[in-house]
Amino acid sequence: MASSANHVNHADPHTEGSRQAKEVAVIVNHPDPAMPRALRPREAAVLVCLFMSLAVCVIFGVMLATRGGVHEIESASDGHVCLTADCITSAALLLASMDPTADPCHDFFQFSCGGWLQDNPIPPEQKQWGVDSKMWETNEKILRRLLETPTLRNSTESYERKAKDYFQSCMEKEAREQASGRPLLELMDQLGGWAAVGNWSEATWDFNDTFTKLHLDLKVDALFFLWVNFDDKDSSKYVFRIDQGGLGLPDRSYYISKESLKVVDAYRKLIARVVQLLGADPDSAQDSAQDVVNFETKLAELTVPESERTNVNALYNNVRIHELKTIAPMIDWESFFHAMVPDLPSARVVLYATDYLRHISQLISDTPARTLNNYLLWRVAASFVTDLSQPFRKALEDFNKVAEGTAGVTEEWRLCLQAVDEHMGMALGGMFVRDSFSKESKEKVKEIAVDIKKAFVFNLEKIDWMDEQTKASAVEKSNHMVEKIGYPDYILNDTLLDEKFTELRVGRDSFFQNRVSGMRHQVRQMLAKLERPVDRTLWTMPPHLVNAYYWPNTNEMVFPAGILQRSFYDSKFPMSMNFGGIGGVIAHELTHGFDDWGGNYDKEGNLRSWWSNSSWTNFTRASQCVIDLYSSYVIEGKQIDGRLTLGENIADIGGLKQAYYGYQIWKKVHQQGEPLLPGLNRTHEEVFFMSFAQSWCITQRPEALDVMLLVDPHAPPKYRVIGSVSQLAEFSEAFHCPVGSPMNPVHKCSVW
């Protein structure tokens, strides 16, 4: 996931594995439906009265303890107050996160999340902390328990055995400490040696040979990103994709901006410490570190800012492999791709950074071999630092203190879980789903998605900037959009999961070798796609992750089991909370199919315009309003990049609207409505918006916020909330916000 700020995020394009309960509340004067039938009426009545009395006490206790005040418990004119255990729990969750002293019309984020932020400080080892972080923490503990239980299927091909052996090999701390940096040095020797540590000969070293091994054997992104995925203009085929990449710091601006000098200096020190731990003398280590930083700075200067790369049609360039020689002659492309796919001489490559490739070819030509070696081998070392002994990990922790503001040490078992997850994510997902996910949840969330898609079509008819022909195409795309919910069915089939990891070799006694094997297995699985027809049933994200995404090439939105739990979803929540929580996520991802990026793809997932010229012009004009809105937000003197965050902001605003009307559709079908929650004195429309906002109760360290503002396509959490609710008249109607108040501006942006 996904980091805390990114739980409704697009899948990372550079990775392969890069978001109804029709009745949930019981009216208070009805007996509890779970009550044993053997109870006599008098006994039942006494128990109900006792439960009601206890419930009222609990409510008042919760409110007094959590927020220091009590709201009246009062029925709305058209509903009852529910005092079942489920309703009490739901109300308590909302109340515990709120700041009732805040004015919802002035700052809805503080009103909804102020209590949560006060009660949930960021753990020392984390750069940010949110409700989704706590959900992931719960999932991590489940996975740890599963990995530490005895293996039931103990054959050599068992995915379960491999995952548990991988985890246990990582937990063997003594063996790792004894090995220190030796496994990495041995790997370096296989790559021709590292000049920084002295075991290198310029006369025998071959740049292209080492460069190819990094991508082919280790999936190390040096100079650029390489992966296999759909051809944007023909989603029935897989192709190689290449994009700019290869920097060690999160964004090009770190190398260029004077404000980031302390981070660059910390990065230089990290490189020097790792080199020294591998045997170099201090002066030589400093020189090599400076050499790497200087080269990466030149690479950063060639890298195009993401805010200038928002037009996918302009980026797309489909070429044959032999044409790459003209674009970037310093790379031996034929040998590079022949090592990967010997039998695909006419294979095609889609470039997303053609000019960048031209520039790095010249950079390679102008750079001494020693510097190229130092850069490439540092990229390898950086990939393995956390897999080595404690002094190496300490070097990384010291860097993170400066770059991320963290101070604590990540627990050993969490690092080991991350390692297994990176290479055996679907194996962990299969174990997680069998243990902790109900198929019933999958079906109920599907019902929410159906209502939200109906709402999208309903709202589409009211849009005045789109012509009828384009509206018809939008409806068609929406109707063709696939929802993948919970998990792929094959992960419940032991045989199929075993087959997925057949070629992965895992030993219980060699964690470092397991890491190398895992990287090589990832590359083999990636390349195997080129030999198979496109399979649209595949998932790119394991089901235990707390995340969700829309994938334009398949016109699908994916909601893993990991996010289908509190605080986003619970079958016992009122539907207002479920539509505000997971409904908001579903609607957000649906709207991505119609934002400035996803809107370029047709119903089949092909990069093809289905808009009339006038409708696209009007869409662009409406989008400019969103750009201007978010660019007006300034945090501690730093401005949100409204262009960089446009797609996510369109999805946030439009998604909230679709989720709201999806809930209205549900209410219309279920005309009896829902009892009010106790202790809130709020309508279910207000509860809907509160539930949406509380999905984004997240706090960040200043360093994490700095990185987010530079590279993240999402706005910071607070502004995802206030930027969305302030643009919906339905929110202001629910909370009776005066016109001109911060959450009800006179002029509003409306795209979808």
Residues involved in catalysis: 589, 652
- Helix H or strand E encompassing 234: strand 234-244
Q: Are 358 and 328 in contact (CB under 8 A)?
A: yes
Report d(CA 146, CA 432) in Å as an integer.
Answer: 8
Residue type, 22: K
Here the contacts of 524-532 (C-beta below 8 Å, separation 24 or greater) are 525/16, 526/16, 526/219, 526/227, 526/228, 527/228, 527/340, 527/341, 529/228, 529/229, 529/238, 530/228, 530/238, 530/239, 530/240, 530/341, 530/344, 530/347, 532/238
Helix (H) or strand (E) holding 230: strand 224-231
Tell me the β-bridge partners of 551: 556
Whole-number Å distance between alpha carbons of 172 and 682: 54
Distances (CA, A) of 13 to 228, 352, 520, 528, 609: 10, 12, 19, 18, 21
Pairing outcome for strands 224-231 and 234-244: antiparallel
Q: Within 10 Å of residue 119's Cβ, how many Cβ atoms?
A: 11
What single letter denotes the amino acid at residue 125?
A: E
Euclidean distance between CA atoms 542 and 389, whole angstroms? 29
Three-state DSSP at 484 gives strand
What angle, 0 to 180 degrees and rounded to 10, lies between the N-to-C axes of helices 41-67 and 85-97? Answer: 0
Contacts of 368 (CB under 8 A, 6+ apart): none
Looking up tokens 């446009």 gives: 646
Structure tokens at 631: 């660019």
Q: What is the DSSP letter of 616?
A: H
Tokens matching residue 711: 């590279």
Retrieve residue 196's tokens. Answer: 């920084």
Q: Where are the beta strands (DSSP E) in 302-427?
A: 317-320, 348-351
Q: What are the structure tokens assigned to 425, written together?
A: 């994510």
